[in-house]
Amino acid sequence: MTFRRPDRDPERPVYVISVAASIVSVHPRTLRIYEEEGLICPARTPTNIRLYSEQDVRRVMWIRHLTQNLGVNLAGVRILFELEERLGTRILERLYTEGISTEADAERAAPQPKAAAASAAKA
């Protein structure tokens, strides 16, 4: 039997904004912008301090991946998140997996620099 500790709940808000920002390597202002855009919704303490859960941190990592690596703007990220919620499927994971396989295929299909130089020298 596996016992799961209650403090390991991914939905439990535990990180203040400075800690969450350092985990995902962004400025705290970036997290506030994501909240203003409706992309994340951290919990609040009675004194109005934002608390982020593991799930919030993962979501920010997805936002960063989509915006920096795939060129999606924040409006596009919001649409992708909404689609994922409506359909109940893991669209983002599928996109990520397809992106990795496409990059690997492109690397395999690209000519090797040494081979290209050798064939140019023969001509």
End-to-end CA distance of the chain: 68
Asked if the 7-93 domain carries CATH number 1.10.1240.10, the reply is: no
The residue extents of the domains of the chain are: 7-93
- Secondary structure tally for the chain: helices H, strands E: 6, 3
pLDDT digits (tens, 9 = 90+) for 55-98: 999 999 999 999 998 899 999 999 999 988 888 877 777 766 77
What is the side-by-side order of every strand in the sheet holding 15-16?
A: 15-16, 50-52, 43-44
Q: Residue 109: what pLDDT?
A: 72
| pTM for this model (two decimals) | 0.70
pLDDT digits (tens, 9 = 90+) for 92-116: 777 667 766 766 666 777 665 555 5
Indicate whether 9 pLDDT > 90.
no
Q: How does residue 117 score in pLDDT terms, banded at 50, 70 and 90?
A: low
